[in-house]
């Protein structure tokens, strides 16, 4: 066995390290001869969408997919975005491959997202605590350190090699002479919701086949919908979006949003009809997701009962080509089950944002209140 594959990324890791910092620190430590062009740009700043170059990928294979995902998403607040009924249930894990296993030979031609900044005092403290200095995620939001109330230091953009050696100095507890005080006052921005639908999170999402079929079903059954529904939305517009989806195969976010609205209104005005639709045509499958299909990265996704996903006709269907689908039969919809089988829901639970089920059936969304943690 290759000795290199046995190298472990240490367990005693800081929880607030930036993705750039994490990639760089581990590459310098375990693959010092590889040039981290996917992290530091040719100009000498941080790369906009950082990634690990091919020669260093082996370092990160020892970590499970979900841990890699959390390292990437340290900046991210999980909310309804990408978590609506017709959103793809698996696409949020694509970034694991893009960052860690993209198999790219870096050329250094990547866009710079900003200069490299740091707080000298934080670095000194982390050396005491962990034995090394690391770059904190929060520094990208402010011009001063919110712990020490001191201005951050910035490295000049003097090219890749200068920055690489300065960064190594910084992590070792030294402040490069070339560094200077950060000038501009950045203000952190927080989330705000204007849209009432933004409050919903769907722990179980529909595959594209179900989306397409739902649109067809709505247009063939709309005459039996409760008339009150058409006081809220226009029948004409509803049918227009159904046609977009079922005929034109337009799975844009606008169509997704509109059909989710129809679904929510049916829950309100025609619950029985909606229940029948799901009973007759839809089933839930449990799927292992992420590049290596391992561990806790799982989602519950709906598929059409009579369709085989391995030959799905929709190119971007989340279930396309999958043979490992485990159909879930009559289970209790309880939060514990959902949390252990929907990783997106687990992430929200770990964020400790208040969640409450909107309905008692399997397909119901949850009301979500995202609290900004400042």
The smaller minimum CB distance to Zn ion, of residues 111 and 148, is found at 148
Stretch that binds Zn ion, among 102-110, 138-146, 179-187, 264-272 (CB under 5 A): 138-146
The smaller minimum CB distance to Zn ion, of residues 16 and 169, is found at 16
Q: Which of 59, 119, 155, 297 binds Zn ion (CB under 5 A)?
A: 119
Q: Which of 4, 147, 178, 232 binds Zn ion (CB under 5 A)?
A: 147
Position 121 contacts Zn ion (CB under 5 A)? yes
Q: What is the DSSP string of 289-303?
A: -TTTT-TT-EEEEEE
- Sign of the four-CA dihedral 310, 312, 315, 319: negative
CA distances from 273 to 34, 39, 333 (A): 60, 53, 20
Q: Measured between alpha carbons, how far is 235 from 229 in angstroms, rounded to an integer?
A: 9
Q: Which of 148, 158, 240, 248 binds Zn ion (CB under 5 A)?
A: 148
Q: Measured between alpha carbons, how far is 69 from 64 in angstroms, rounded to an integer?
A: 9
φ/ψ (deg, to 5) at 83: -120, 30
Copy the structure tokens of residue 226: 């409760």
Position 325 contacts Zn ion (CB under 5 A)? no
Q: Measured between alpha carbons, how far is 267 from 94 in angstroms, rounded to an integer?
A: 32
Q: How far is the CB of 305 from Zn ion (least distance, A)?
A: 12
Q: Which of 39, 47, 85, 317 binds Zn ion (CB under 5 A)?
A: 317
Cβ atoms 216, 313 nearer than 8 A: no
Position 137 contacts Zn ion (CB under 5 A)? no
Cβ atoms 16, 138 nearer than 8 A: yes
Q: Which of 209, 215, 265, 362 binds Zn ion (CB under 5 A)?
A: 209
Q: Which of 72, 122, 171, 264 binds Zn ion (CB under 5 A)?
A: 122
Stretch that binds Zn ion, among 9-17, 98-106, 117-125, 176-184 (CB under 5 A): 117-125
Q: Which of 319, 338, 348, 370 binds Zn ion (CB under 5 A)?
A: 319
SS3 category, 50:
coil
Contact residues: Zn ion, CB under 5 A: 119, 121-122, 145, 147-148, 207, 209, 312, 317, 319
């Amino acid at each position: 066995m290759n000795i290199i594959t046995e190298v472990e990324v240490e367990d005693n890791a800081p929880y607030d390290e930036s993705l750039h910092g994490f990639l760089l620190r581990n590459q310098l430590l375990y693959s010092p001869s590889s040039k981290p062009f996917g992290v530091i740009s040719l100009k000498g700043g941080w790369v906009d969408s950082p990634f690990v170059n091919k020669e260093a990928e082996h370092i990160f294979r020892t970590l499970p997919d979900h841990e890699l995902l959390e390292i990437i998403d340290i900046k991210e607040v999980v909310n309804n975005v990408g978590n609506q009924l017709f959103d793809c249930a698996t696409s949020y894990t694509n970034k694991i491959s893009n960052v860690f296993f993209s198999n790219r030979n870096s050329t250094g031609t990547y866009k710079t997202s900003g200069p490299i900044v740091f707080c000298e005092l934080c670095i000194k403290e982390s050396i005491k605590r962990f034995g090394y200095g690391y770059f904190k995620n929060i520094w990208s939001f402010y011009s001063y350190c919110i712990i020490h109330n001191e201005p951050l230091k910035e490295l000049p953009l003097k090219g890749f090699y200068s920055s690489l050696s300065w960064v190594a100095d910084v992590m070792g507890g030294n402040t490069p002479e070339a560094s200077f005080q950060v000038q501009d006052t950045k203000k952190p921005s927080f989330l705000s919701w204007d849209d009432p639908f933004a409050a919903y999170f769907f722990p179980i999402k529909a595959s594209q086949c179900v989306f397409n079929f739902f649109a067809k079903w709505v247009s063939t059954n709309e005459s039996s919908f409760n008339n009150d529904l058409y006081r809220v939305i226009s029948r004409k517009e509803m049918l227009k979006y159904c046609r977009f989806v079922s005929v034109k195969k337009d799975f844009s976010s606008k169509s997704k949003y509109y059909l989710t609205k129809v679904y929510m209104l049916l829950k309100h005005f025609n619950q029985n009809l909606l229940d029948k639709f799901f009973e007759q045509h839809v089933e839930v499958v449990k799927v292992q997701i992420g590049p290596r299909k391992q561990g806790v990265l799982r989602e519950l996704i709906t598929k059409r009962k009579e369709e085989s996903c391995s030959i799905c006709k929709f190119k971007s269907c989340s279930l396309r080509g999958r043979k490992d689908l485990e159909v879930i039969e009559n289970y209790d919809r309880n939060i514990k089950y959902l949390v252990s089988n929907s990783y997106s829901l687990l992430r929200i639970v770990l964020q400790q944002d208040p969640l409450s089920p909107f309905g008692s059936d399997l397909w119901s969304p949850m009301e979500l209140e995202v609290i900004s943690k400042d």
